[in-house]
Homo-oligomer: A and B are copies of this chain.
């Protein structure tokens, strides 16, 4: 697949296309036009066609898009057609919640281990996934192919752990800690900043309140 520089706005929309196509597929819909999809998703048909044509022509004039084909092609673009091995750093509530959330597995995101520093947690399994001592991080990473490290640890420890992960050659970090991690260019980071999400909601509430 050849890639131009794809804008972030486009990439953010791809998973949502994928989700809607998945639903159509479940409902047995075979084909759909950009126009019908645009109505379902409340976006413009033009945007859908532009977005998709960044990656190639997946449709057919006069017919539209084959739902199953497009669904699979977007999965390939997103890289969810392959297995992604993950480790979770931080076995607290969030780490456990993510581990227990089986939907990630269905998409090929497999959690291989949880790491923690608390003796209460080390040695315990969550859904058959072992909780290991943080001191074992380096040896574990040298022995396993891990694609993504998930950071569910407090802010103060996050950069130090990130540096260790980067030293081990980790390529991607899914960061739930509330700070901006410093990583070299070759490492990709995706942030989930829940407090910021909540503050945006709070802003919208205030906005409404003032409009009366």
Chain A interface residues toward B at CB < 8 A: 1, 3, 11-12, 14-16, 18-19, 77-80, 84, 92-94, 96-98, 100-101, 103-104, 107, 109, 147-148, 171-172, 174, 178-179, 186, 188, 190, 192-210
Contact = CB atoms under 8 A, between A and B. Distances in A.
Given A93-B101, A109-B202, 10 more contacts: A11-B200, A15-B200, A79-B202, A84-B205, A93-B93, A94-B97, A94-B101, A109-B198, A172-B201, A172-B204
**Residue among A11, A15, A174 facing the most chain B CB atoms (10 A cut-off):** A15
A179 to B, nearest CB: 8
A16 B196 contact: yes
B103 A97 contact: no
A188 B174 contact: no
A207 B10 CA distance: 14
Given A19-B178, A190-B204, A78 B172 contact: no
Contact of A148 (B18, B97, B205): B205
A198 B18 CA distance: 13
10 contacts: A11-B203, A77-B203, A78-B199, A78-B206, A80-B199, A93-B97, A103-B178, A107-B199, A148-B201, A174-B201
B195 A190 contact: no
Contact of A3 (B109, B190, B210): B210
A101 to B, nearest CB: 7
B196 A190 contact: no
A130 to B, nearest CB: 18
Q: Which 5 A-B pairs have the closest CB atoms?
A: A79-B206, A93-B97, A15-B196, A190-B201, A188-B204
Contacts of A97: 92-94, 96-97
Given A193-B15, A196-B15, A201 B178 contact: no
